[in-house]
Amino acid sequence: MTITAQHIRDTLTAYLDQRPEDKDSISALTDALEATAETITSRKEFQGHVTAGALLLRADGRVLLVEHKALGKWLFPGGHLEEDDESLMRAALRELAEETGIDPGLVTLVSPVPLHIDVHPIPANPSKDEPDHMHFDFRFLFRTDADVAALQAEEVLDYSWQFADQITAEPLRSRLLAVPTR
């Protein structure tokens, strides 16, 4: 079942109900959803498209980062939506399992509402015939005691468990630090 524009709207509404202070920082998402509702889940929508990410937290307060091959950056596990994704949360969990080999059965969802929605630019990728565009990343918080089992070699170079206070991006850093360790 494909993720619908209505599912994205509902998730966005639930998020803004909890975090109304983020309305301005995600206005590009709101605008794109209005303009491209039927195509906003497609990676070929270059006004911007929705992605899903996993913020995976351990009891010791460390969060998982992966070194993304194509972008050459340390990021949270996540990626593009697929046709058979049933929800944004399940897409985030699928991406986590694909990139790290962590069994979804060893992961617990903290909240069905994203902890953070990040709007960020993606540079052009001539090898994929993709111009500069935006990603609207719905980031869900999960807990685990598991470790990375196998990296997805075509997309991920390495992984690292970092203490949440080492995350520099706000408001994500503050939100991760506010999560009880158990």
Query: Tens digits of per-residue pLDDT, 92-150?
Result: 999 999 999 999 999 999 999 999 999 999 888 888 888 999 999 999 999 999 999 88
Q: Burial letters for 5-20: b for 16+ Cβ neighbours within 10 Å, e otherwise?
A: bebbeebbeebbeebe
Q: pLDDT per residue over 71-88, tens digit each?
A: 788 999 999 999 999 999
CA dist., res. 66 & res. 126, Å (int): 23
pLDDT tier, 1 (very low <50, low <70, confident <90, very high otherwise): low
Could you tell me if residue 102 is left (phi over 0), alpha (psi between -120 and 50 degrees) or otherwise beta? beta
pLDDT score recorded for residue 45: 92
CATH 3.90.79.10 fits 5-178, yes or no: yes
How far is residue 88 from each of residues 3, 54, 72, 92, 133, measured CA to CA in Å? 7, 10, 25, 6, 20
Share of the chain above pLDDT 90, in %: 81
Give the domain ranges of the chain.
5-178
The answer to whether residue 2 scores a pLDDT higher than 90 is: no
Structure tokens at 109: 């969802």
